[in-house]
Amino acid sequence: MASINLIEAFRDFKEAENIDRPTMMKVVEDVFKTLLRKKFGSDENFDVIVNAEKGDLEIIRRRMIVEDGQVEDPLSQIAYSDATKIEPDFEVGEELYQEIDLYDFGRRAILAAKQTLASRISDLKKTALAKKYGDRIGEIVSAEVYQVWKKEILLLDEEGNELILPKSEQIPQDYFKKGESIRAVVKKVDMKNNNPVIILSRTSPEFLAKLLEIEVPEIFDGLIVIKKIVRDPGERAKVAVESYDDRIDPVGACVGMKGSRIHGIVRELKNENIDVINWTSNNQLLIQRSLTPAKITSMELDHENKHANVYLKPDQVSLAIGRRGVNIKLACELTGYEIDVYRDNEGDEEGFDIDLDEFSDEIDTWVIDELKRVGCDTARSVLDLTPEELERRTDLEKETIAEVRKVLKEEFEKE
């Protein structure tokens, strides 16, 4: 009996997860039954027996022995005289089982069968890979950097499967080298030219949620629930949590003793600031908490239009707005309200204020932009801060700050 070397093909089957033994047998059987149909016109009287352990197979032909000259169907019947040539003890009425030598199919047919089998295995492995990662969407995986390109990074998991981390799904501060291990969340599985493409992400809220689940046992156990996460990757994140157990402080549990639990996550996210707040169905209280670390003086809510006017002391305005407006943007996303921040001028004798842009002929544009960056967009908001505070918060020199304050003060004195 000639045998085809199928051991490597079977090994491919075994290495591909989720391809079970019955599926494997069925594929091999289908491939060789196709071969039989091409040669004999039918596969009805043939049995394909696969030995997965050894990596070979047998093809057995079944025919009924009939009297000489009474053969009506050569596929299912054989003449007595022909049967006795195979085995002298055969008798009419018995069933003859004959092993088919694979070499009888011809070298070209055997090669075609091997190629078809390899193709079917490849398709099954692709399907299994797509299903495996399709079921893991939203889970964290670890993979090794194999190739770094301009627009994406190619990673390999422990089984050698290729994963993609696009530039758009990387934290801006991320920098990885070949051979380095990366943690990311499975975002989606795309099919490209019939090949599964597994897309990972380090910027999605799910990544932060899973990191918290790993670090905080109470979240994993379901005692604390993450109600919502909003992120500006690498810059800031806000996490609203709620506890189902009155004895557990959800914020304290997430942060940990002296920040022990949150510090590891902050490092993983390249020093992303993470504000953990208590979730509440009270919109006013939620907005107040969402603007952390700023402290609010008063608030006006328009529930119908989902709009909030928030009033703060002058030194709290820049904290509420945050660097490049990130803090207030995330607060809007977290609460679902459009939030406008105003300085609380209660007690000020002068009720008017002047926009900084009005001073563009006396103050350089880049200086105005720098002041706006820290939340000072009017003359009074600049004067409400001490020169030391302005120097600490901005990149402006002491002399520049003094000159700006002088110009602004003169304007108010004129008024």
* pLDDT reported for residue 21: 65
pTM (global) more than 0.75 = no
CA angle, 119 as apex, 117 and 125 as ends, to 5°? 105
Beta carbons within 10 angstroms of residue 229's beta carbon:
21
66: region left, alpha or beta (phi > 0 left; psi from -120 to 50 alpha): beta
Q: Looking at 193-316, which runs of residues are DSSP E strands? A: 195-201, 224-232, 236-243, 273-278, 296-302, 307-312
d(CA 40, CA 36): 6
* pLDDT reported for residue 157: 92
SS3 call for 340: strand
Residues linked to residue 299 through DSSP beta bridges, in sequence order: 310
Beta-carbon-side half-sphere exposure of residue 354 (alpha carbons within 13 Å): 17
Per-residue pLDDT of the chain (415 residues; tens, 9 = 90+): 344 455 455 555 545 445 666 777 777 778 788 888 887 777 788 878 776 565 567 788 888 888 887 888 888 788 888 888 888 888 888 888 878 777 777 777 777 777 777 787 788 888 888 988 999 999 999 999 999 999 999 999 998 899 999 999 999 999 999 999 999 999 999 988 888 999 999 999 999 999 999 999 999 999 999 999 999 999 999 999 999 888 899 999 999 888 899 999 999 999 999 999 999 999 999 999 999 888 898 899 998 999 999 998 887 888 888 888 899 999 999 999 999 988 876 544 445 567 787 787 788 888 888 888 888 888 888 888 888 888 888 888 889 999 999 988 887 776 5
